[in-house]
Amino acid sequence: MTIRSTGGRVAAYAWLVFAALNLVDLFFGITGDPDYSLTTVTIAFLLLLGCGIAYAVGLRPVIVGDDAGITVRNPLRDVRVPWGAVRRIEGKNAVTVVFAGPDGTDLETRAWVLQTSPRAQAKAEARAEKEARKGRGQGLDLRGRTPTAYAAQQLNEMKDRQRPKARSGAPDKAAKAKAEEEGPARGTVKWSVPAVASLAVPLAVLVALLITGAVT
């Protein structure tokens, strides 16, 4: 299960194409003579900083659920949580995962994907309630099926399916004992080096260029 923001990815790719065309124009002179002045270089790194933002904000964010656990990738950080470490998953203004951290304390992460304002969430809930009323006669129950609530529901269902079961449907005691021997499951939180670098490098160069321009 993979959840991404289609709008964010489209906007990010649009910016990348725009930036690439402008960089080519700046240094190869498609619409005019090429220019290698300090101003041109500064504009180039502004475009590169925009590309870093497009990558971090538009392309990186994702929620992935697989057989082993859930991954929440936000603009600058990656969270990986085995199903055994998940305490709860909720879907309100954002998909929120509460899990056991590396030291055993409970941590909470909010997914960048599907985030909405309280006002937008209220409108979505009203639409879901309206659809629920329409579907009651057909045996359908769509109450709470906003994008965030639906994503949280699917992830919770995946979590429930990963619980060890015996053939009778009861919890598999052998699997449970093995899990206890291996120790409690823990989630991890890591900074994304590529994401941080995509923002920090062009920003640092821009600052240096501005200082150079001010001195000269």
pLDDT in tens, 134-180: 655 454 445 556 788 889 999 999 999 886 554 455 555 555 555 55
Asked whether the beta carbons of 146 and 129 are under 8 A apart, the reply is no
Across 37-51, 95-109, 129-143, 165-179, least confident range: 165-179
pTM: 0.79
DSSP 142-207: -TT--HHHHHHHHHHHHHHHTS-B-TTSSB-HHHHHHHHHH-----EEEE-HHHHHHHHHHHHHHH
Percent of the chain exceeding pLDDT 70 equals: 75
In this prediction, residues 86-100 reach a mean pLDDT of 92
